[in-house]
Amino acid sequence: MYENPIEEHKNLVFPKKEKLKNKKLFEQLFSEGKSMSAFPIKLLYTKAVFDDDVSIKVGVVAPKKKFKTAVKRNRVKRLLREAYRINKPLVFNNIEGNYAFLFLYLSNKIPNYEEVEGAMKELLKTFLKKESHEKIDT
């Protein structure tokens, strides 16, 4: 993909400024956000305005109702973040505008990485198709 391994590494990081932390934005995602899913992941997203120079901010959720122990919830969230980090160039290179993403884990069992990454790729590709289609319509 890239000739320069340092340049490739810069694109595959998930820095603090790309993490979704704004409580109002979280609430907006649940109330007004659009959604799509590829089992076992659901993506909620909405257009947003950020103060910093980031085009996408991302949050991940593993429900306490399905994973009682913090160890299991953290494992699921770690897998979601890693799958996003690896596949984020799919979105960053092909999107216009600013978005807030929230990835929700839907299944009851702890996944393996391959399941999560496959669903993540499918979701990001579907998101790109849907958003580029909406730009053409408007």
Residue 2 lies in a domain: no
Per the domain annotation, does 7 fall within a domain? no
Using CA atoms, how far apart are residues 7 and 4, in angstroms rounded to an integer? 5
pLDDT in tens, the chain (138 residues): 445 555 555 678 999 999 999 999 999 999 999 999 999 999 999 999 988 888 999 999 999 999 999 999 999 999 999 999 999 998 988 888 899 999 999 999 999 999 999 999 999 999 999 987 765 544
Query: What is the domain-level CATH number for residue 120?
Result: 3.30.230.10
Q: Is 108 part of a structural domain of the chain?
A: yes
Counting the structural domains of the chain, the total is 1
Residue 55 domain flag: yes
Q: Does 8 reside within a domain?
A: no
Which secondary-structure segment (H or E) carries 12? none
| Helical (H) or strand (E) element with 42 | strand 41-47
Name the 3-class secondary structure at 69.
coil
Domain of residue 90: give its range.
Answer: 13-137
Q: Is residue 60 part of a domain?
A: yes
